[in-house]
Amino acid sequence: MTAKVSYGSVEVGTELPAQSFPVTRATLVQYAGASGDFNPIHWNEKFAREVGLPDVIAHGMFTMAEAIRVVTDWAGDPGAVVDYGVRFTKPVVVPNDDKGALIEVSGKVAALLDENLVRVDLVALCDGKKVLGMSRAVVRLA
């Protein structure tokens, strides 16, 4: 029988509280202003369609930032995240209506590492489709 390894109440399989993040066209305009990324695929429907997209899409870095909020809220400190990476698998399409899109994010502890570090794997979905792949964060526990 193998001993169960944990850091306090955190062990492999510990689930983080899932969260949902609404995204509207107004959200994208605000993000563009804050980030300086004014690429028209994020605000101009006509342009987005001309380049082969189904509609305006959320900024990849915005989607990535929303996903890591699940980890920073759980950890209680954004500075606890020591590494974070994703692969962009599908864009978050943001329709021009009152609802926009919804990014749903869940996570769980996938590995206990040395020095009180854990790896958290995230799943980010929009309309039931994975929008981020290989979404992983390394977190230093207090």
Claim: this prediction has a pTM higher than 0.95 = no
* Domain membership of residue 125 as a residue range: 10-22+59-140
Residue 64 domain-assigned (yes or no): yes
Cα distance between residue 21 and residue 56, in whole Å: 17
Q: What is the pLDDT of residues 50-68, one digit of tens each?
A: 999 999 999 999 999 999 9
Domain assignment of residue 52, yes or no = no
The number of residues in the chain equals 142
Give the model confidence (pLDDT) of 35-51 as tens digits. 999 999 999 999 999 99
In a domain, 94, yes or no: yes
State the CATH number of the domain containing residue 113: 3.10.129.10
Q: Is 35 inside any structural domain?
A: no
**Is residue 41 a part of any domain in this protein?**
no
Number of domains in the chain: 1
For residue 1, the model assigns a pLDDT of: 44
Q: List, in sequence order, every beta strand (DSSP E) within the chain.
A: 6-7, 10-11, 15-23, 81-88, 101-112, 117-126, 129-140
- 1 or 73, which is more confident: 73
Kindly state the tokens that stand for 39: 């690429």
Quick check: is 48 in a domain? no
